[in-house]
């Protein structure tokens, strides 16, 4: 049972990695997200980094909603 769960996790990870490699927009988003997240974690005393990261996440959520509604494109 434990092995089956592990295979499902690995399969999902591989599919996600393949999507990131094939889609430039997704790759760029992931790189920026990771950059902002790590900058926030490495400098917890700097509140501006946390604000920038939260703004990026919120703005991206709005953008994705607009894409799903057909109001915006990738």
**Tens-digit pLDDT profile for residues 5-45:** 666 677 888 888 888 888 888 898 899 999 999 999 999 99
pLDDT at 35: 95
How far, in Å, are 10, 26, 57 from residue 15 at the CA level? Answer: 9, 13, 23
Q: Is the pTM of this model over 0.85?
A: no
Q: What is the CA radius of gyration of the chain?
A: 16
């Amino acid at each position: 049972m434990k092995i089956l769960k592990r295979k499902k996790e690995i399969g999902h990870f591989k599919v996600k990695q393949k999507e990131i490699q094939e889609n430039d927009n997704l790759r760029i988003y992931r790189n920026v997200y990771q950059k902002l997240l790590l900058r926030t974690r490495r400098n917890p005393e700097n509140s501006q980094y946390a604000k920038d990261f939260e703004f990026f996440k919120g703005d991206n959520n709005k953008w994705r909603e607009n894409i799903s509604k057909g109001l915006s494109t990738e």
